[in-house]
A and B are shown apart, each in its own frame.
Chain A
Amino acid sequence: MTACYLDHNATTPLGLPARDAMARAMEAAARIAGNASSVHGFGRAARKIVEDARAHVAELAGVAPANVIFTSGGSEANNAILRGIGADVRVTSTIEHASVLDAVDAVRAPVNADGVIDLNALAEMLNEVQGRVLISVMAANNETGVVQPIAEISALAKNHDAVFHVDAIQWAGKRPLFEVTAYADAVSLSAHKFGGPQGVGAILVKDGTAFAPLVRGGGQERRRRSGTENLIGIAGFGAAAEAALTGVHDFARLAGLRDRIENELGDVARIYGQGAERLPNTTCIAMPGVSAETQVMAFDLAGIAVSAGSACSSGKIEPSYVLLAMGLSNEDAAEAIRVSLGTGTTEQDVERFIQTWRDLYERHVKTAKPKGTGEAAA
């Protein structure tokens, strides 16, 4: 049985461009051992790899290379910004990633039933708070794919003289990144969510946005992130960013595949966030009467990888806080799984998912019938 991977929001397979670039960097690492901060020729060769990658990330983001700071990943990027930008009050939303929610104490704006941040509520919160404000929201949610009103929030931030940070970790590679960087003072990225390797990410910081570094030491990354640069990872990140410049077009195809899942299963499935603008690759889909754990196990047996929420919390069995924030009951939230497609996803993969979903559902309805009223499929 060939494997069918539909968990791209957790991590993506390494894309060919990243793989090639990393193979070259690895070849270099095995041959020359360059610390990018060393002055000798070996170091300069490593420095070139890092700076070429920085230029590619900058191009994808529509910013200057000097505005790109490499980190060990998205969680570090979020923590560095949330903790490093001096603010009296931090305002986020109820559906942010744990690396934002847990990093600092913050006021949290609610979302509507489709998972979109409530702009009126956010505006009221901003009217009430005093002092210097940092607003941090995600461009698109990792569990539902719901796109957030970045331009509108940016306008609110400007009115209140607030610093505006956007977690674009799920957005990058799927939608044009300049649509985010144009509005934000600081942006977080992660390479492994769009064909790059794990262990590398970036902060994009606008000129004049001061922050205290999270990791201090040798003063690398213009004193904003110390530590020897992850040469192989950064090489892969750069190549993935370069590929993403054109790769976003493939996501129109994925939207078609995603819609097909929702259309074919929509008679029984509940889809969350469907009323909002979403990332083209993500669907959050609930099977009535069947727990998410049962579903992911059954899909895994069938060779299909999906998840019950975000990867970091997928070991836990509590219902998703994102879905609860959208007003779902514990019971409804506990039946939802996340299906996220990627550039390698084929029509056959999607057909196989649909068929497996149907089989699982029908099997459950049959076994559930003797216990219930016979209307389990309602």
Chain B
Amino acid sequence: MNSTHRPVYLDYQATTPVDARVMDAMMPYFTEAFGNPHSTSHAYGWEARDAVELARQQVAAMINADPREIVFTSGATESNNMAIKGVARFFAGRKAHMVAPVTEHKCVLESLKYAEKLCYEITWLKVGADGLIDPDTVKAALRADTALVSVMQVNNEIGVIQPMAEIGRLCREAGVYLHSDAAQAAGKIPIDVAAMNVDLLSLSGHKMYGPMGIGALYVRRKPRVRLEPLMDGGGQERTLRSGTLPAPLVVGFGAAAGLVSEGCDIDATRIRDLRDRVLKGLQQRIPDLYVNGSMEQRVAGNLNIGFRGISSETLMDALKDRVALSSGSACTSAAVEPSYVLRALGLSDEDAHASVRLCIGRMTTQDEAEAAIEAISEEVAKLRAMEMRGVG
């Protein structure tokens, strides 16, 4: 890649750059303050532990939780695995049912498949054409033996925001745990575990301008959530998650959470304006463009749009030196199947295949947005012209 002419980065839902303020906070813990936060016999350990505990407060504050309810993990994938498998193992033989929409992240789907092996039946909820869940379908799915409902707060592909507070109220009334994968919500919309009645909530550092390799699982204390750990060992994190905590990454995650609590991005006006500008710019230049998912209940930075007749791979390849975007989630973006999320909205294979995800973030500039509009509309026009001539 040429560093002077770098493509415009519009893939903030795959990962975000580390904020410079986060980097500054992390640096000392890589070098001078390197102690094992679980060493209790010397000052190196205490220093690292104090930093970890401050970060725990910062993360807790971001979601209106108690610091004791925060369990640090290696990322949201681990958090989601831990929440679903952990509840499944704890209640195996006593409960036999779980509920989730079909549009969840792969790691939630895979963890639920694991629960199936422990004899849980899964009710897969359909979503509307806008990608949203109707809370009534949750209510209808709940059973006496339901252990868990898992709903992603913000979808990773289409950015739609699910009605968590309503779902939370229903689950609480029924005495069923509610887990939410909030990796894509943190830093984009406010998260309040108390207001949403969420019992378990997964977070990721690198989706909110913190480092990769760190995340958290919120585990409610009152009423107490019971789950089996994914990993056993030294008994760190109040025995819920063994393993040495990476103090520098924890500190970075905490600093990133601190920035969110300070109001960084949370009103998102600038990001929303840029996103709307990109959509309008593309709509003006490109005919036959469609938007996937609700535009009202959607995070500020996300766009998921289709250009009928052009496969996302072809478009991404044509744009590779100009705009970095993706056809869906990063983990599966090397795969060629059409997105299961878009299929669930009712899109045909062809239309799902012709869709891309754009995500604008904290560092995106007006100039970059304009450059992206130019690049995308030019390449789409070229590809369509080639198609018409039968070259494509």
Contacts and interface: CB of A to CB of B under 8 A. Distances in A.
Interface of A: 3, 5, 7, 10-14, 19, 22, 26, 29-35, 37-43, 45, 71-76, 78-79, 97-100, 102-103, 190, 192, 197-200, 214-220, 226-234, 296-297, 299-300, 304-308, 310-315
17 contacts: A14-B34, A22-B30, A30-B23, A35-B14, A37-B333, A37-B334, A97-B234, A99-B233, A102-B242, A103-B232, A215-B77, A217-B105, A217-B110, A218-B106, A226-B106, A228-B77, A307-B42
Contact of B230 (A26, A79, A297): A79
A75 B36 CA distance: 14
B231 A76 contact: yes
B231 A218 contact: no
A218 B212 contact: no
Contacts of A13: 31, 34
A32 B16 CA distance: 8
Chain B contact surface mostly = loop
Given A72-B243, A214-B230, A312 B236 contact: yes
B17 A29 contact: yes
Name the residue among A11, A26, A72, A310 with the largest chain B CB count within 10 angstroms.
A72
B348 interface: no
B7 interface: yes
Interface of B: 1, 6-7, 9, 11-12, 14-20, 23, 30-31, 34-36, 38-45, 73-78, 80-81, 105-108, 110-111, 113-114, 204, 206, 211-214, 230-236, 242-249, 316, 320-321, 324-327, 329-334
A271 B38 CA distance: 25
A98 B242 CA distance: 9
Closest 9 CB pairs of A and B: A312-B234, A218-B331, A217-B107, A230-B213, A199-B246, A99-B233, A72-B74, A75-B243, A227-B77
A40 B107 contact: no
A190 B326 CA distance: 33
A194 B286 CA distance: 55
B331 A200 contact: no
Contacts of B234: 75, 97-99, 310-313
B242 to A, nearest CB: 5
Contacts of A72: 73-75, 78, 213, 243
A198 B15 contact: no
Contacts of B31: 13-14, 19
B230 A11 contact: no
Contact of A200 (B40, B213, B334): B213
B230 A38 contact: no
Nearest to A41: B1
Contact of B246 (A38, A79, A200): A200
B9 to A, nearest CB: 6
Contact of A40 (B7, B74, B204, B244): B7
A226 B332 CA distance: 11
Given A198-B36, A200-B246, A38 B236 contact: no
B362 to A, nearest CB: 10
A10 B245 CA distance: 12
A305 B247 contact: no
Contacts of B16: 33
Contacts of A73: 74, 243-244, 246
B41 A306 contact: yes
A10 B17 contact: no
Nearest to B312: A39
Contacts of A220: 331
Contact of B243 (A74, A227, A231): A74
Contact of B74 (A26, A230, A296, A305): A230
